[in-house]
Amino acid sequence: MSFVKVDAKSDFSFHNLPYGVFSTPDNPRHRIGVAIGDQILDLSEMKTLFRGPVLSKHQDVFDQPTLNAFMGLGYEAWREARRTLQALLSASESTLRDDISLRTRAFVHQSSATMHLPAEIGDYTDFYSSKDHATNVGIMFRGKENALMPNWLRLPVGYHGRASSVVVSGMPIRRPSGQMRPDQTKPPVFGPSKQLDIELEMAFFVGGGNRLGEPIPIEKAHEHIFGMVLMNDWSARDIQAWEYVPLGPFLGKNFGTTISPWVVPMEALLPFAEPNAIQEPEPLPYLRHDDAYTFNINLSVSLKGQSMAEAATICKSNFKYMYWTMKQQLAHHTVNGCNARPGDLLASGTISGPDPESFGSMLELSWRGSKSIDLGGGEARTFLKDGDQVTITGYCEGAGYRVGFGPCMGTILPALQQ
How many residues in total does the chain contain?
Answer: 418
3-state secondary structure of 298: strand
Rounded to whole angstroms, the Cα distance separating 395 from 393 reads 7
Rounded to whole angstroms, the Cα distance separating 134 from 149 reads 9
- E-strand ranges in 82-199 read 107-109, 114-116, 124-127, 158-160, 166-168, 173-174, 177-180, 189-192, 196-197
Rounded to whole angstroms, the Cα distance separating 265 from 210 reads 20
- Radius of gyration (C-alpha) of the chain in whole angstroms: 22
DSSP secondary structure, 133-191, as one string: HHHHHHHHHH-GGG-S-TTTTTS--EEE--GGGEEETT--EEPPEEEE-SSTTS--EEE
Rounded to whole angstroms, the Cα distance separating 378 from 341 reads 48
Query: 45: which DSSP letter?
Result: G
Query: Is 133 one of the catalytic residues?
Result: yes
Q: Choosing from 15, 133, 332, 333, which is the catalytic residue?
A: 133
The count of other CB atoms within 10 Å of the CB of residue 397 is: 13
414 cis-preceded (ω within 30 degrees of 0): no
Rounded to whole angstroms, the Cα distance separating 383 from 366 reads 8
Rounded to whole angstroms, the Cα distance separating 283 from 290 reads 12
Rounded to whole angstroms, the Cα distance separating 389 from 410 reads 6
Phi, psi angles (nearest 5°) of residue 215: -60, 155
DSSP secondary structure, 221-234, as one string: GGGGEEEEEEEE--
**Catalytic center residues:** 133
